[in-house]
Amino acid sequence: MKLKLAIILLFSILHSQSKININNLVELDGKMYRPSTNKLYSGIVYDSYANTDDKKLEGFYRNGLKNGEWTR
C-alpha cells in the first residue's frame, strides 16, 4: 500500500512539473488555463526570443496564478 501511494505521489509531482510556452496558455478571468481544457494550469512557463531562442522569461503557475520567483 505504501509503495502504491509513493508511486501516485511521485507521478503527481512529475506531472505537475510540465513546462509550456506562456503564449500557449489561455487567460480567463485573470487565471491561466491549459489550451482546450477547463483545467487551471500548474507548472513551469517560459517565453523565448523569436530570433535567438534565448529565454525571455521563466516562472511558475499554481492553480492558474503566478507563483514564486520569476526570471527575466
- pLDDT tens, position by position, 23-44: 999 999 999 999 888 899 999 9
Query: Which of 36, 46, 40 lies closest to 62 in space, CA to CA?
Result: 40
d(CA 3, CA 51): 47
| 68 or 54, which is more confident | 68
CA quadruple 50, 62, 15, 36: dihedral sign: negative
What's residue 6's pLDDT? Answer: 60
Locate the domains of the chain by residue range: 2-71
In the block, cell 503564449 appears at 23
Residues 6+ apart with CB under 8 A from 57: 22, 45, 46, 47, 70, 71, 72
Greater model confidence, 12 or 19: 19
Model pTM above 0.75: no
The answer to whether residue 47 scores a pLDDT higher than 80 is yes
